[in-house]
Structure 1
């Protein structure tokens, strides 16, 4: 034992150690057991070897360099931000939108327009797509930023809209604005909107065949479920035949099928460099190896519980497999349990190899006699001489379903004495 622990925690100390305890107790010292040592060793090493000219990292992303995407957030009451831009050239048209949640998560959206349009029409399409996505994500307060002066000032009412095509877009945009509790539009210069411009450029560079379905829902899916599927799909990124899951810090995790899941679970738990860790630690190790599937933690726990050595050395579960009922005995010998102890080797000198035992549930009194064979007549003789004649008639008898303990003679006796 640690001597310091012994001085502080031992209730009975004699001699010189007791004197030390009295002296130390005057200083109001509280002893706490040291926990993990690994983390403190790393901290001590870093403290002893400081880095010269160290500058703290700035984790706040500016509007110019947005480089993080994340999962969906529902029911957002705080102020959110939206950035939109478009790209119109001779080859194709595309738009890019970035939604920023209050906690710093970024949601990037790219759309390729399959119809010819002007520059202003593409800007209206980008703004409307961003507002529709914000409504689906249940963003109630929004700040809209864009580098298109006509769109911003026309929506704010400072400029007039004379183009017949843009009048319809403006009406629909004003209809979407009414879905928000608070919304504002801010004009940005092009230098502060480079990330959405890059997304729109990527949308234009994407090659799509005519008639190719990019969004397909399962059959017989309601409108609300389709909206939920679209929100969940924002957290995934397809690349060829491989599907990736986006994390909150922008990292991509490879989604696997059932065959790969079994191999990953085996290698993580029982492979060459595995540590036979529990289910929760297995899930964290798999995520660090950039793999993901929806039932990751559940599958890790089930695989860990099926491990043979875990079943042997695990903590015992002191819960019965079925519900237990209390047997209440109101007075002594009102309820007796009678059982036969199995065949005993070697047999006694008188040839007895069985023991018939009766136990009272109230006083725990035991009556036991040995016999060479246990028959119904033997049971009746034992019951009359050792139970009825000594302690009176019991109210209940508890036995197993053996024939020698539940035969017709015994049932006749119970019916005669109403047991």
Structure 2
């Protein structure tokens, strides 16, 4: 590939084949190898261990006690909940939850308790013991304190209904030092914005527990999948001005969906041949380098901000900014125009820009229709004779304003 003639030949083939709809399909799995892996995974010697693990996870052992550590956190960034559910065998289920609504510290503690009991009920846990470091919540549930605030009364009612579904339920207050794991998860959920974490999934709760049915709130993975499917349907039905430009290409690569118009479908197929999908992410083919990742409008704003004025940003102009983003491996259709507009809106660039010396408005020359149309003459009088018996007369001219001219015309009349 180092020879120019070979690279040029590859470029010609790439340009020639870009007009066709070509799709790469990997080789399917070998059936014999898949069967061998299945037999090795479910060998009778390991069947007993698998059944014990499944029994421990599903919580069918009614006599054993499950342990739940909960904590809630509220700060300027938001509210979060941390849950640590420990089964009798010692395995743990940890979860960090972010509340997409404003909540006080006590309300976050109640959200942690209700969500923790909901998670335990989903695993068919019958005996549960809860540890929390909030004195108010623990004494409310144990009927040692009386709830007077309307929100606390509503939260306590939901917690009491959830408690009745367990055969054995105990809640105990522990010091903060003994609830470090749940406290760290709650801080994580309240501090971080939506991020991708492989070990600790962050769930987002959209509404408080006192405003809707807990079963309808985001809690499980299938709910996330359902919301994602609804979001795709909503995007496909909204207008073109609010729709994501990547949706038609994703629909074509996934389901081979084309526009209804025949001409538009033919043109769209030619454009779609330049795009590929890798791990459900849309990329655009590039002849000069690797594939370019296609960004949405929100992602494009983030990339523009980081490249223009981020840690390594140099406040480049619009054209240089778009070229730099292209070299970084990103693409969207209006990249050049968005980069120019973003550079114009930068406050630091406006402050450091050179001063503009041209007038704010264009200068218009004043042209009269005939000479001396706005001039007047006044005779001073006869001057003394000069040497050589010469007589001089002095005439003074000046421009009259329109007001003086109008006054003079009135006096003449």
State the TM bucket, normalised to the shorter chain: 0.3 to 0.5
TM-score when normalising by structure 2:
0.34
TM-score when normalising by structure 1:
0.34
Structure having the larger proportion of residues in helix: 2
